[in-house]
Structure 1
Amino acid sequence: MAKTTRATQFLEKAGIAFTTHVYEYDPTAERIGLQAAEAIGEAPHRVLKTLMAELDGKPVCVVVPSDREVSMKKLAAAFGGKHAAMMKPAMAEKLTGYVVGGISPFGQKKTVPTAIEVAALREDQVYINGGQRGLQVRLAPADAQKALAAIAAPLVS
């Protein structure tokens, strides 16, 4: 497994300190983020999942704890929109250049507005997908927010 991906290159270019963590990805896992948390031995609220959604027909990226679900109402409100819905996996892969299970908010093919769950910013360190299945990057959530120019908002139900 390569430890250098578009995501890690993006973080290096941005001058963000991070470490990489490889784990055994389970393609049969019902909830990928929870499986990642268990595999690396970390609390699920510190392992953030990257989701792609559509807000009023435009793509957005959402980063939330793996043990929580995104509230579409809160997501729409965070961006000042009316209607939010999850993006179809094939569209998410095409837009980001990553495969489902390996989608990172960092180094996506097309930069889109991003939101991070505000509660995640209270953690010292979080894990976020590093751009391929079985690879997480560990970093300060404030650094992730800064690198992504992400808004912080309550996004989970």
Structure 2
Amino acid sequence: MTPAIDYLRAHKIPFTVHEYQLKHSSDNYGQDVADALGVPHSQLFKTLLIALNGNPKTLAACLVPVAGSLNLKLAAKALGAKRAELADVAQAEKSSGYVVGGISPFGQKKALPTVLDASAVLLTSLYASAGRRGLQIEVAPARLAEALGAVIDDISA
């Protein structure tokens, strides 16, 4: 099990675990994962950590569909910050306890402010990393937002 799965169980959040194997790899890992799972690219969300206001230690998590990209200006605004940039890989891994490509929004070493892209509210379920490559969690967007105290806002481009 992973800390993400343990977190969901501890908080009694209903979820389904999906395993996958990539048969090929392109420049877009997230879309490759969605294809391997047979789900629309708009339903699989990537978790990106950002640094706020130029401080590499003030991090937040953003969940956006793999079909799009994160708009840093919109993410900063949603979090009440003046600006945001993608977190350094080493800092993201240290803060979350996960490796890049397997960062889950759940069960991170340090709870971070979180923003879920508003496109999620149109879905009955979404997929997010379960904390390691080859494993995804399917969960209702409302339950994800509730479990993480996430803000829901338009943050994807």
Q: If the TM-score is normalised by the length of the shorter chain, which range does it land in?
A: over 0.9
Match of 2:104 in 1: 104
Decide whether aligned partners of structure 1 residues 139 and 130 sit closer, same or farther in structure 2, where only a CA change above 3 A counts: same
Query: In the TM superposition, what are the counterparts of 1:43-82 in structure 2 within 5 Å?
Result: 43-56=40-53, 57=55, 58-82=58-82
Q: Supply the distance in 2 between the matched residues of 1:26 and 1:97 (Cα, whole angstroms).
A: 27
Per-residue deviation, 1:35: 1.1
Does 1:21 pair with 2:29? no
Query: In the TM superposition, what are the counterparts of 1:136-155 in structure 2 within 5 Å?
Result: 136-155=136-155
Asked if the contact 2:7–2:106 (Cα under 8 Å) also holds between the matched residues in 1, the reply is: yes
Per-residue deviation, 1:155: 0.2
Q: How many residues align?
A: 154
Q: Supply the distance in 1 between the matched residues of 2:85 and 2:23 (Cα, whole angstroms).
A: 26
Per-residue deviation, 1:29: 3.8
Specify the code of the residue in structure 2 equivalent to 1:122: L
Asked if the contact 1:7–1:131 (Cα under 8 Å) also holds between the matched residues in 2, the reply is: yes
Asked if the contact 2:25–2:32 (Cα under 8 Å) also holds between the matched residues in 1, the reply is: no
Specify the code of the residue in structure 2 equivalent to 1:52: L
Specify the code of the residue in structure 2 equivalent to 1:142: A
Asked if the contact 1:117–1:153 (Cα under 8 Å) also holds between the matched residues in 2, the reply is: yes
Per-residue deviation, 1:90: 1.4
Asked if the contact 1:53–1:86 (Cα under 8 Å) also holds between the matched residues in 2, the reply is: yes
Specify the code of the residue in structure 2 equivalent to 1:103: I
Q: Supply the distance in 1 between the matched residues of 2:62 and 2:75 (Cα, whole angstroms).
A: 8
| RMSD, aligned α-carbons | 1.3
Asked if the contact 1:25–1:133 (Cα under 8 Å) also holds between the matched residues in 2, the reply is: no
Gaps of 5+ in 2: none
TM-score for both structures, normalised by structure 2: 0.94
Query: In the TM superposition, what are the counterparts of 1:120-135 in structure 2 within 5 Å?
Result: 120-135=120-135
Q: Supply the distance in 2 between the matched residues of 1:98 and 1:27 (Cα, whole angstroms).
A: 23
TM-score for both structures, normalised by structure 1: 0.94
Asked if the contact 2:24–2:32 (Cα under 8 Å) also holds between the matched residues in 1, the reply is: no
What secondary structure sits across from 1:46 in the alignment? coil
Query: In the TM superposition, what are the counterparts of 1:22-41 in structure 2 within 5 Å?
Result: 22-25=19-22, 28-41=25-38
Q: Runs of 4 or more off by more than 4 Å in structure 1?
A: 25-28
Gaps of 5+ in 1: none
